[in-house]
Amino acid sequence: MVFLSRAQVLTAFGALALALYVLDLVRRRRLSEEFSVLWVLATVVIAALGFSTSLLTKVTHALGILYEGSTVFACGLAFALAMLLHLSTKLSRLTQEKDGLTREIAFLRLELEELRAPGRAADGEGA
């Protein structure tokens, strides 16, 4: 029987606690389902590596990493990079949408001012 190290137990329970927190954020509608899938997936992977010494050892050797702790750290770093890339693409898309909406509002304001301008002159002449 393989015993879990203290670091593995802390990592696994930390990942489970994070997964529960993410689910609570979704329940309270403070985090969208789209992002919660990424977070839950990452925490499940980290928890699985933390609870399963044999899986962690196999993954570590398959990746050519010397220490199991480095494998968990590398998985966390890979997740952080993936999340940053995902958020950057979302932010870029939202910025483009904002710019388009800003232009559309400017054109609508100009059109509204042009429609109001002759009406004001007619009101002023009749008084």
Residue 3 confidence (pLDDT): 67
pLDDT at 125 over 60: no
- Both tokens of 79, joined, read 């997740």
pLDDT at 123 over 60: no
**Predicted structure pTM score:** 0.67
Highest mean pLDDT among 7-11, 54-58, 101-105, 111-115: 101-105
Residue 127 confidence (pLDDT): 45
**Average pLDDT score over residue span 73-83:** 89
